[in-house]
């Protein structure tokens, strides 16, 4: 059967449309996921949230984002494009990223157990708990216990990998239109999943990665 132009258009549209089934109708709103994790952000997501808050982008980035420098153990079998560093004779991958600030151990946008930027929340929030780094289990999450499935949850990985590669090659300053001023209050160093204190010397070293 010959397809009409409209049908072909519709067909293409449905193929490129991201297949994310949102989980809000089943989520019990316990808000634990907003308390437990740091929320990585892509520049276009920052732009969308700034727009939602009706503040300018620079203001948003300066007041709502923190730097994370993460060192994760080097894996001989994992092929990544991340920067390799050696610390105390141990090899790591380094990646630098910006994440939403937290207040009292929760995302700054969580108020009265509700997300105040819900329609503009980042992809990583939308996909929780369906995507999993390293096949974790989120036993605290009712949705995870129900084994609720989101179609293609791993769509986050290529995006994140692409972003991190871009940061590695172009540096954060060329990836983000504007960056927060680096100071002890907005920088976190995470080694093997553990947050470390930042000394002045370390801060100077981290500045060289920007
Ligand atoms: S932890 Fe699970 S059930 Fe609780 S708010 Fe997050 S997604 Fe919903
Ligand atoms: S942006 Fe919203 S959904 Fe995401 S962690 Fe913050 S409060 Fe939760």
Distance of CA 126 to the CA centre of its chain: 11
**Ligand 2 pocket: which residues have CB below 6 Å?**
34, 39, 107, 109-110, 115, 117, 121, 125
Q: What's the pTM?
A: 0.79
Q: Is the pLDDT assigned to residue 7 strictly greater than 70?
A: no
Residue 166 lies in a domain: yes
Which ligand is closest to the CA of 30, given by its number? 1
* pLDDT surpasses 70 at 185: yes
1 found inside a domain: no
Nearest CA to ligand 2 atom 8: 34
Inter-residue contact 43 to 175 (CB < 8 Å): yes
Q: How far does residue 110's CA lie from ligand 2's centre (Å)?
A: 6
User: How confident is the model over 137-175, as pLDDT tens digits?
Assistant: 788 888 887 766 656 666 677 888 888 888 888 888 889
- Quote the percentage of the chain above a pLDDT of 90: 30
Please indicate, yes or no, if residue 41 is contained in any of the structural domains: yes
What lies within 8 Å, CB to CB, of 167 at 6+ separation is 95, 96, 97, 175
- Inside any domain, residue 9: no
From the number of C-beta atoms within 10 Å of its C-beta (0-12, 13-18, 19+), residue 134 rates as exposed
Q: What is the domain count for the chain?
A: 1
Q: Which residues form the domain of 154?
A: 28-207
Asked whether residue 20 is domain-assigned, the answer is no
- Is 11 inside a domain boundary? no
Ligand nearest to the CA of 129: 1
């Amino acid at each position: 059967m010959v397809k009409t132009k409209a049908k072909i258009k519709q067909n293409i549209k449905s193929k490129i449309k991201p297949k994310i089934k949102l989980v809000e109708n089943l989520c019990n709103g316990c808000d634990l996921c907003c308390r437990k994790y740091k929320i990585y952000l892509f520049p276009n997501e920052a732009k969308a949230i700034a727009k939602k808050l009706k503040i300018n982008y620079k203001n948003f980035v300066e007041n709502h984002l923190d730097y994370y420098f993460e060192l994760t153990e080097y894996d001989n079998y994992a092929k990544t494009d991340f920067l390799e560093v050696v610390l105390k004779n141990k090899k790591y991958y380094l990646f630098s990223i910006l994440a939403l600030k937290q207040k009292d151990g929760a995302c700054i946008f969580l108020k009265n157990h509700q997300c105040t930027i819900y329609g503009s929340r980042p992809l990583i929030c939308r996909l929780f708990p369906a995507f999993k780094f390293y096949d974790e289990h989120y036993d605290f999450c009712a949705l995870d216990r129900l084994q609720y499935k989101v179609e293609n949850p791993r769509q986050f990985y290529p995006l994140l990998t692409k972003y991190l590669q871009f940061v590695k090659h172009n540096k954060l300053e060329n990836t983000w239109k504007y960056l927060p001023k680096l100071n002890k209050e907005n920088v976190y160093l995470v080694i093997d999943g553990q947050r470390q204190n930042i000394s002045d010397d370390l801060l100077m070293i981290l500045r060289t990665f920007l």
